[in-house]
Amino acid sequence: MTPALGSTAMRVMIDGTPVSDDQAAISVFDWGVLRGFGVFEVIRSYQGRAFRTRQHLDRLERSAEALAIELPNRDSLDSWIVECAEMGGDGQVRVVVTGGGRDPQAEAPSRTIVLWEPVPSGPDRLSLLPMKALWHPATDTDSFSGVKWTSYAPNMASTDKARRVGFHDALLLTADSLILEGPTFAVAWMSEGRLETPSLQLGILTSITRDVLLESALRLDVEVKQGFFPLERLLDSDEAFGLSTTKEVTPIEKVGEHEIPVGPFGKSLAEEFRSIVTAETDRATTAS
């Protein structure tokens, strides 16, 4: 049975087969379970339409290649995502592909989980605690940079650490205090009339929301600069934003003890962002 739109019930498919929540299971010998060895994506769905699936699948393919995980074929993945998005309406579709059991004594096939989940509610404005992330693949711009793997323990531990001292989340920095990203989001800010954001050359995730924000800036004739920026650049910014599939464009109002204004640029960027989303997903204006 498909629960009513807006319900918090999950919809799960494993290897393309719909399963009920209580039957959704994979082997405990899967390295996804034992070692966090797997890749994933979270795709926003608006009115039951998945947003930017192509880019998400491109990134999933890059991640899987880095870990030598074989994916189901792209058309199948695409159709499972479409199906889950349509079942759920507004929400997000999570795709996880596990590494399978790779120990010779406990082999298990790689599994593909596609599930619909409600968008988790988050704050309207973010407060971030800066912290050095020496585990971050920032130093590795070769093999593992930008890989969206399920080994997210350090990311989640950073979020948790920030929350325990009253912040919403962490802001991850290199050893030299260059700005990287949040544990589950990208960052950008306005400075001297320009939109600035850390360069992908730092090994941060190629955030799809960040891409859409850069497109929004272009449409608003706002100059964009991607680079290597020290923390002070963000602290002195005119406005700042946390960016992700889940957060979309959320203003950052505090970094450490430093207040950051929330102002008109963010509003315009968020509106432009929304108009791109609507143009691509609105059932009234796009062909199915």
Binding site for ligand PLP (CB under 6 A): 42, 181, 184-186, 205, 207-210, 243-245
d(CA 210, CA 182): 12
Q: Cβ of residue 165: shortest distance to ligand PLP, in angstroms? A: 21
Rank residues 11 and 210 by Cβ distance to ligand PLP and give the closer one. Answer: 210
Rank residues 42 and 202 by Cβ distance to ligand PLP and give the closer one. Answer: 42
Q: Cβ of residue 87: shortest distance to ligand PLP, in angstroms? A: 21
Rank residues 108 and 172 by Cβ distance to ligand PLP and give the closer one. Answer: 172
Q: Cβ of residue 187: shortest distance to ligand PLP, in angstroms? A: 9
Rank residues 246 and 268 by Cβ distance to ligand PLP and give the closer one. Answer: 246
- H, E, C per residue of the chain: CCCCCCCCCCEEEECCEEECHHHCCCCCCCHHHHHCCEEEEEEEEECCEECCHHHHHHHHHHHHHHCCCCCCCHHHHHHHHHHHHHHHCCEEEEEEEECCEEECCEEECCCEEEEEECCCCCCCCEEEEEEECCCCHHHCCCCCCCCCECCCHHHHHHHHHHHHCCCCEEEEECCCCEEEECCCCEEEEEECCEEEEECHHHCCCCCHHHHHHHHHHHHCCCCEEEECCEHHHHHCCCEEEEEECCCEEEEEEEECCEECCCCHHHHHHHHHHHHHHHHHHCCCCCCC
Rank residues 63 and 244 by Cβ distance to ligand PLP and give the closer one. Answer: 244
Rank residues 108 and 114 by Cβ distance to ligand PLP and give the closer one. Answer: 114
Q: Cβ of residue 3: shortest distance to ligand PLP, in angstroms? A: 25
Q: Cβ of residue 249: shortest distance to ligand PLP, in angstroms? A: 10
